[in-house]
Amino acid sequence: MKAIIQRVTTASVTAGEEQISSIGRGLCVLFGISVADTQKDVDYMVRKILNLRVFEDENGRAWSHSVMDRELEVLCVSQFTLQCILKGNKPDFHSAMPAEQAQPFYNNILEQLRQAYKPELIKDGQFGAYMQVHIQNDGPVTIQLESPTGPTDPRLLSKQEKQQQRKEKTRSKGPSESSREKGASRRSKADPGASSGAEGDVSSEREP
Amino acid sequence: MKAIIQRVTTASVTAGEEQISSIGRGLCVLFGISVADTQKDVDYMVRKILNLRVFEDENGRAWSHSVMDRELEVLCVSQFTLQCILKGNKPDFHSAMPAEQAQPFYNNILEQLRQAYKPELIKDGQFGAYMQVHIQNDGPVTIQLESPTGPTDPRLLSKQEKQQQRKEKTRSKGPSESSREKGASRRSKADPGASSGAEGDVSSEREP
């Protein structure tokens, strides 16, 4: 899973004339859910988003406090285009989780965020709708996160994977054995209108 | 180099009460320049940003036209926080290019964009200033790009790190011994105004 976290002074979502939601100071998070994502990725993202130190403390010391420390708000928006692979200059979105699975998966992220923090401080867009996301990026401060099973941060990846493996060994008798295998088999070619946001006309081209 | 590209209906930058610049439909691009970036990365980014097909064509067919095809605008903002490595929950920015090198490097990106497109359609923020970046993300559509030599593609990383190491060895006799170490030391707590955006109080913690 990928997430683009923007520290905001205010942010809001509108669909047509309707304002869906809005926040004051806090974080606007765009989530790109991949076909390979599992509960592990959700756990990681929820923890990081809530604990990431991107705010100053009471003495003005930067990078000291998290959104939770400051009791600020979080506006979440699903954004399948983050799972983009370029075919030349054309975005291809086959690695994005198809909408029918991504919607409950995304709702679960929101639920976990609400449980770990305060439900009333976690706001949401409208899954799959064509929206305008109004972001007043404060700083600007933009952090790009990738959950441990994502492919892009090599230095942290091996470390995290080991930690994760240790954790999983401990957990492995539990009910949530929805391993990566299961997630991966969900990967389908035939789901164009899939996922949230924008026109949903995802490219159907796929490299062999 | 990393870039977060948001397709926008409008976007603008303000610093204090002053509006620095604004665009209508087009792209808002946040650039995270890494210590390892070279002209190759600039070439790649300039080409991709201008040719990325994130707009619909005249028949409403999505993912068909680029910002150039549609003659739309580009608002560029330097954003060192994209070169963030998490140390636990604390962002560390030592892999971001230090401000004194990043500013001419970033100006070169702008220059290349203007040369490859139309100068009047490439707008800019204010390097290193504390700004509010107002982004009306249209869709939303957000694409994360990484230049080929960027540090987070594991396949390329080891290659690049070797290159970097070779460079550092070569440079170590020269006058500009601003190897990564020195760059890192500059990016210290005692360098608040450093780099672009935000408080610039980058973390000085560095893993051994």
Give A29-38 pLDDT, tens digit per residue.
Answer: 999 999 999 9
What is the reported pLDDT for A72?
Answer: 98
Determine the pLDDT at residue B148: 83
Bridge partners of A112? none
Are B82 and A202 an interchain contact pair (Cβ–Cβ within 8 Å)? Answer: no
Say if A198 is an interface residue toward chain B (CB within 8 Å): yes
Q: What angle do CA A116, A83, A188 make, to 5 degrees?
A: 105
pTM: 0.77
Sort out which chain A residues have CB atoms less than 8 A from B44's CB and list them: none
The lowest-confidence range among A39-48, A67-76, B170-179 is B170-179
Question: Closest Cα of chain A to B131: distance in Å?
Answer: 5
Residues of A in contact with B91 (CB under 8 A): 52-54, 63, 143
Q: How far is CA A80 from CA A33, A129, B160, in A?
A: 6, 12, 30
- Res A166: pLDDT: 59
DSSP codes of every residue in B30-51: EEE-BTT--HHHHHHHHHHHHH
> What is the nearest CA distance from B198 to chain A, expressed in angstroms?
4
> Cβ(A122)–Cβ(A74) under 8 Å?
yes
DSSP secondary structure letters along A45-88: HHHHHHH---B--TT--SS-B-TTTTT-EEEEEE-GGGS-EEET
A 53-112 → B contacts, CB under 8 A: 53-54, 56, 61-63, 66, 77, 79, 81-82, 84, 86, 89-91
CB of A163 within 8 Å of any CB in chain B?
no
Q: Do A131 and B140 touch (CB under 8 A)?
A: yes
State which residue of chain A sits closest to B138, comparing Cα positions: A132
Interchain CB contacts (distance < 8 Å): A and B? 159
Q: B172 or B149, which is more confident? A: B149
Residue B163: predicted pLDDT: 56
Cis peptide before A148 (omega within 30 of 0): no
Asked if pLDDT for residue A133 goes beyond 70, the answer is yes
Contact between chains at A198 and B154 (C-beta distance less than 8 A)? no
Nearest CA in chain B to A86: B52
Q: Is-contact B54 B7, C-beta < 8 A? A: yes
pLDDT band of residue A141 (cuts 50, 70, 90) is very high
Contact B142 A4 (CB under 8 A): yes
Q: If you average pLDDT over residues A51-61, what whole number do you get? A: 96
Whether residues A77 and B144 touch (CB distance < 8 A) is answered with: no
Do the Cβ atoms of B154 and A156 come within 8 Å?
no
Comparing CB atoms, the residue among A62, A81, A139 nearest residue B131 is: A139
pLDDT given for residue B191 in this prediction: 36
d(CA A83, CA A91): 9
What letter would DSSP give residue B188?
S
Q: What is the DSSP letter of B120?
A: G
pLDDT of residue A197: 43
Taking residues B132-153, report their average pLDDT.
86
3-state secondary structure B124-172: ECCCCCCEEEEEEEEEEEEEEEECCCCCCCHHHHHHHHHHHHHHHHHHC
Q: How far is it, in rounded angstroms, from Cα B47 to Cα B24?
A: 21
Which residues face A28 on adjacent strands? Answer: A6, A75
